[in-house]
C-alpha cells in the first residue's frame, strides 16, 4: 500500500483541516499521521499529513483532484511519495566529521537519502567517497574563478537530479545568485556559542572566555551569511576542566548530530519556511527506523 504525504501552506481560516480530511477520506485514503500549526503573528497555516492510499490512487490523480480545493483556500500544496529517497549533493572542505557521519547514516539506512555526489574544494576525502561508490568532484574555488566554479557545482547538481545541497562544513561562501537559485534547498551547519565568536578558531576563543555551552545550528542558506531560517539546534555542556581541544571534539559531535537531524526533517517534508523562521513538525512514527544495524 502506497504511503504518501501532503504539505499545505495558506492563510489561516476555518474549515481547512476538515476539508483536507474529507478530501482524503473521499479518495480512499487513510490518515496515519498529521500535524498543523497556526502562526498567530503572520496569520499563516501550515499542515503536514501522512496517509495511505488504500484504493490505489496515484500522486498525479490526487494532485489533480485536490487542485480545486486548494484554489478555494488559496493553498500552496504538494503531494509526495514517502518511499522515494531525495537525491542529495554533499559539499565538504577539510573537516570531515559531518561527511563521515552522513555517510554512515546513509549506509545503514538511518537517513533516507540518495547521495548523488560529493563536491569538495580539496582532495582530502576523495578515497572515502569513492570507496562508497559515490561520484566525487574536486572543484577548486578562488576569487578569480568563483563564478566558473559555482557553474560547475550547479552542473553537478543538475546532472545528478539532486533535490538538496548539504554544506557539511564546506568552507566557501556561496554567491547570492546560487543562494537565490537554490532557495530552501541548501542546508548548512555551523557552531554556535554564547557569547558569539566569529573569525579564526572560534573554539579557542570560546575556551579562553570560559564558555560553558557549546552548540551547533543548522539552517537554510540565504544571501545573509549564517542568518538563514533555522531548522535544528542543540548544545552540550562543558566545564573548566575541558581543554581547547576538548571543545573542538565535543563541538564536532554536536555539529554532526544537528546536521543529520536537520536533513532528516527536510527530506521528510517536515520543515516549512515561515518568513525568517521555520515550522518544524515532529517526526512521524517509524521514520527513524534503520534498514540495517551496521
**Which residues of 72-212 form beta strands (DSSP E)?**
76-81, 87-92, 114-120, 136-138, 164-167, 186-193
| CB neighbour list of residue 47: distance below 8 Å, 6 or more residues apart | 6, 7, 8, 9, 16, 17, 20, 34, 35, 36, 37
| CB neighbour list of residue 198: distance below 8 Å, 6 or more residues apart | none
Residue-level pLDDT at 285:
87
The 10s digit of each residue's pLDDT in 111-145 is: 999 999 999 999 999 999 999 999 999 999 998 99
pLDDT surpasses 90 at 24:
yes
Q: Catalytic residue numbers?
A: 226
Residue-level pLDDT at 198:
77
The 10s digit of each residue's pLDDT in 248-264 is: 999 999 999 999 999 99
Residue-level pLDDT at 130:
97
Q: For residue 53, what is the enclosing H or E element?
A: strand 44-53
Q: CA–CA separation, 135 vs 151, rounded Å?
A: 18
The 10s digit of each residue's pLDDT in 168-218 is: 999 999 999 999 999 999 999 999 886 788 777 889 999 999 999 999 999
pLDDT, average across residues 153-161: 97
Q: CA–CA separation, 241 vs 14, rounded Å?
A: 56
Residue 193's φ and ψ, nearest 5 degrees, are -135, 165
Residue-level pLDDT at 293:
62
Residue-level pLDDT at 223:
87
Residue-level pLDDT at 227:
86
Closest to 190 in 3D by CA, of 234, 153, 146 = 234
Cell of 117: 555526489
Residue-level pLDDT at 254:
97
Confidence of residue 229 (pLDDT cuts 50, 70, 90): very high
Residue-level pLDDT at 97:
97
pLDDT surpasses 70 at 294:
no
The 10s digit of each residue's pLDDT in 75-100 is: 999 999 999 999 999 999 999 999 99
Residue-level pLDDT at 82:
94
What whole-number percentage of the chain has pLDDT above 90? 89
The 10s digit of each residue's pLDDT in 60-69 is: 999 999 999 9
Amino acid at each position: 500500500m502506497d504511503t504518501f504525504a501532503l504539505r499545505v501552506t495558506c492563510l489561516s481560516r476555518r474549515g481547512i483541516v476538515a476539508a483536507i480530511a474529507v478530501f482524503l477520506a473521499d479518495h480512499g485514503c487513510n490518515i496515519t499521521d498529521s500535524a498543523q500549526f497556526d502562526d498567530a503573528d503572520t496569520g499563516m497555516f501550515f499542515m503536514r499529513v501522512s496517509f495511505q492510499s488504500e484504493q490505489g490512487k496515484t500522486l498525479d490523480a490526487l494532485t489533480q483532484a485536490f487542485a480545486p480545493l486548494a484554489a478555494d483556500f488559496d493553498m500552496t500544496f504538494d503531494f509526495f511519495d514517502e518511499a522515494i529517497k531525495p537525491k542529495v549533493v554533499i559539499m565538504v572542505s577539510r573537516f570531515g566529521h559531518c561527511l563521515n557521519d552522513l555517510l554512515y547514516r546513509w549506509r545503514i539506512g538511518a537517513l533516507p537519502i540518495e547521495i548523488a555526489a560529493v563536491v569538495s574544494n580539496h582532495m582530502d576525502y576523495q578515497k572515502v567517497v569513492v570507496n562508497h561508490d559515490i561520484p566525487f568532484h574536486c572543484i577548486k574555488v578562488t576569487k578569480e574563478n568563483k563564478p566558473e566554479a559555482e557553474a560547475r557545482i550547479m552542473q553537478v547538481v543538475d546532472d545528478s537530479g539532486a533535490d538538496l545541497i548539504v554544506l557539511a562544513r564546506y568552507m566557501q561562501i556561496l554567491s547570492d545568485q546560487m543562494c537565490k537559485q537554490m532557495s530552501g534547498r541548501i542546508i548548512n551547519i555551523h557552531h554556535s556559542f554564547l557569547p558569539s565568536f566569529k573569525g579564526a578558531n572560534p573554539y579557542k576563543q570560546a575556551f579562553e572566555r570560559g564558555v560553558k555551552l557549546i552548540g551547533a545550528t543548522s539552517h537554510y542558506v540565504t544571501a545573509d551569511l549564517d542568518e538563514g531560517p533555522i531548522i535544528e539546534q542543540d548544545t552540550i555542556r562543558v566545564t573548566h576542566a575541558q581543554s581547547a581541544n576538548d571543545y573542538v571534539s565535543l563541538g564536532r559531535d554536536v555539529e554532526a548530530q544537528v546536521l543529520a537531524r536537520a536533513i532528516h526533517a527536510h527530506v521528510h517534508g517536515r520543515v516549512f519556511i515561515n518568513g525568517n523562521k521555520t515550522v518544524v513538525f515532529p517526526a512521524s512514527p517509524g521514520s527513524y527506523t534503520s534498514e540495517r544495524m551496521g
